[in-house]
Structure 1
Amino acid sequence: MSSAPTPFRDSPLPDGFGLVVGNCQAETMRILLHADDRPTVRVPPVHEMDAAGTERLHELLPRASFLVAQPVREDYHGLPLGTRQLAAALSRHARLVTFPVVRYTGLHPFQAALHVSGIDEVPPVVAYHDVRTLAAVAGLPVAPRLTRRAVEQVAADSLDELRRREQSIDVAASDLLQPTSGEVMRTVNHPGNAVWMPLAQRVLEALGDAGMPTDPGRPLLDAVRAPLEEWVVDAWGLPDEPRARWRADGVEIEPELVAAAHREWYLAHPAFVDAAVRRLRRTLGRWRL
């Protein structure tokens, strides 16, 4: 069992500590990298960072032995949180390794996780969009399920995008996203342990660390699980039983309840619907009747 990480704002700091910066996936990577001989400092996800937190991060960077980062654009939310901006604050002895934001739709081809500029709210119940519900509100006729070929096409679209992003990243994840079971992805942006463990191993190798990832002894990113629909199980020949309900924080939720809450939210946010339909044009094309 490794020691607990040093909280972000606490001191003194452990010798040789590292930092992991990115979205909610970054904390999962930090958990796997943290060890007694490889201490880490817990950093909030970038979308939760304020000016004081950013200043604290820049205080830590020159003292860090490594930075593992997901790509973040320059001046994110008006703060110097861009990956290149963080890297510039490192000492010349520190190592930098980048890894991707992992999104894969192979097990949830009906699902999208997206934000629209100017709309900070997220839909109620679960913060994921079902393209079938969205399309219905937008007046677009779509199928209730996809053929096996269409499932493969939606999966390929997400892999193509991930591979494109990986061209400028140190460590790849796309080849780990084989739909061998429902445990590969909990939602479109929550990979399971079967992805995280080898991905963390690749990060360690890129850091020049001969150690192993720290097994957390529990499922990672497991607070929310999307339905695993029967036609998806059949398309990939998965060993899993289909799962009709959502699960959020241990509570089972009927998909009809989610759909009804989201329809109401979409009707109250027509600008989101218009923008989301444009963003999801390719995916919705796979679903059109």
Structure 2
Amino acid sequence: MPSGWRDVARGSAEPGDRPLLVVHGNCQAESLRVLCDQAWGEEVTCVRIPPVFELEAGDVEDFHALVRRTSYLVTQPIVDDYRDLPLGTGQITALLPDSARVAMVPVMRWSALMPTHAIVRAAGVGDPPGVPYHDLRVLASAARGEAVADLSELSAEAVRAVQEISREQLRVRQEHHGTVDALSFFEEAGADAAWTINHPQNSVLIGVAGQALDRLGLPRTVGDPGRVLLATTTAPVSAAVLEALGLTGTPRSGWRHEGDPFTEEEIAATQLAWYAEHPQVVEAGIRRHYDTLEVLGLHVGHVSTSDSSRG
């Protein structure tokens, strides 16, 4: 857990006359804070805090105290009582001083470059082995009881259909929550938009950080941080997908996770065996991503979609 924020919250480390800026959200939040700090770090104290999914019950009192001292808050939409803790966006903004300013940024997911990749949550089960992402082709193979995952390329029509789904999902999230516009930066970045479906590349993060600062009344050019952000995991991007989307760029073959390379076949075999031990993950994945599976032509039979999502 990052150090220092507790001291500021408790008043034992004073930011001097500089106002506090806090970025609250998922794994994308720290990268946005880095960019805000680069732009305003000499005049505003940009406090580094843990991502919301790492905050625990023992952190709440200090975190709330920090928020009460915050002048500028950048936050992603987080449901109230997230993980049974009062960390939701509405709960946090209610603690801010009356003079504080807030900028909402969306949870950024972009599946256009990786149309078969997904995030699946199942109760009591963590991330799959190898990389913390699922491939819907492998999930479908598991659902059909196949011994080897079918990693066939998708049709160009299917690729473009997933791009449209991803575009519409992000647009709806932005409009519903009144966030800054990340969609335009994903589209402008083309083949260089994302490392994984939920890890944007630098150009997208820079654009979003700049819009957030504008909304806070802190307009300033956000420059490149001089290092790659959010690239702990990089996902494969096939030449066929780039061609289907009409994008110019360099395909990425295989995965890289925490410095280690893996082929798609290695990850598929590892996760297919893991699905056999965790069938509830297959069920949760199919239910959540049923519409996308159908668009991709990965038919797995009929399931109830009453609680499905195109996420």
Task: Please name the residue that 2:282 is paired with.
Answer: 273
Task: Please name the residue that 1:135 is paired with.
Answer: 140
Task: Please name the residue that 2:254 is paired with.
Answer: 245
Task: Please name the residue that 1:41 is paired with.
Answer: 47
Residue 156 (structure 1) aligned with residue 177 (structure 2): no
Distance 1:213 1:254, change over 3 A: same
Task: Give the partner amino acid of 1:53.
Answer: D
Task: Give the partner amino acid of 1:121.
Answer: G
Match of 1:87 among 80, 89, 93: 93
Is there any run of 5+ residues in structure 2 with no aligned partner, and where? 299-311
Task: Please name the residue that 2:304 is paired with.
Answer: none
Contact 1:170–1:206 at 8 Å: present in 2 too? no
CA distance in 2, matches of 1:197, 1:69: 16
Task: Give the partner amino acid of 1:125.
Answer: G
Secondary structure of the residue that 1:199 maps to in structure 2? helix
Distance 1:120 1:212, change over 3 A: farther
Residue 75 (structure 1) aligned with residue 81 (structure 2): yes
Residue 13 (structure 1) aligned with residue 14 (structure 2): yes
CA distance in 2, matches of 1:241, 1:41: 36
Task: Give the partner amino acid of 1:113.
Answer: I
CA distance in 1, matches of 2:252, 2:46: 37
Distance 1:93 1:120, change over 3 A: farther
Give the C-alpha shift of residue 48 in structure 1. Answer: 0.9
1:178-202 superposed Cα distances (whole Å, 9 cap, x missing partner): 1754321100000001111111110
Q: 1:94-133 alignment to 2 at 5 Å?
A: 94-116=100-122, 118-133=123-138
Secondary structure of the residue that 2:13 maps to in structure 1? coil
Q: TM-score, normalised by structure 1?
A: 0.93
CA distance in 1, matches of 2:188, 2:197: 12
- Percent sequence identity over matched residues? 38
Contact 1:223–1:249 at 8 Å: present in 2 too? yes
CA distance in 1, matches of 2:104, 2:266: 39
Task: Please name the residue that 2:192 is paired with.
Answer: 183
CA distance in 2, matches of 1:239, 1:159: 19
201-210 vs 246-255, greater mean Cα deviation: 246-255
Give the C-alpha shift of residue 143 in structure 1. Answer: 7.5
Match of 1:217 among 218, 226, 243: 226
Task: Give the partner amino acid of 1:129.
Answer: H
Give the C-alpha shift of residue 17 in structure 1. Answer: 1.3
Secondary structure of the residue that 2:103 maps to in structure 1? strand
Task: Give the partner amino acid of 1:24.
Answer: C
Q: TM-score, normalised by structure 2?
A: 0.86
170-179 vs 146-155, greater mean Cα deviation: 170-179
CA distance in 2, matches of 1:171, 1:41: 21
Task: Give the partner amino acid of 1:13.
Answer: E
Distance 1:170 1:13, change over 3 A: farther
CA distance in 2, matches of 1:140, 1:172: 42
CA distance in 2, matches of 1:222, 1:149: 29
Match of 1:51 among 57, 68, 72: 57
Task: Give the partner amino acid of 2:79.
Answer: R
Task: Give the partner amino acid of 1:65.
Answer: S
Secondary structure of the residue that 1:96 maps to in structure 2? strand
Contact 1:108–1:187 at 8 Å: present in 2 too? yes
Q: 1:258-269 alignment to 2 at 5 Å?
A: 258-269=267-278
Task: Give the partner amino acid of 1:139.
Answer: R
Two-structure CA RMSD over aligned residues (Å): 1.9
CA distance in 2, matches of 1:56, 1:202: 29
CA distance in 1, matches of 2:218, 2:279: 50
Task: Please name the residue that 1:32 is paired with.
Answer: 35
1:89-134 superposed Cα distances (whole Å, 9 cap, x missing partner): 0000111111000001110001002312x13411011000000000
Task: Give the partner amino acid of 2:286.
Answer: V
Is there any run of 5+ residues in structure 1 with no aligned partner, and where? none
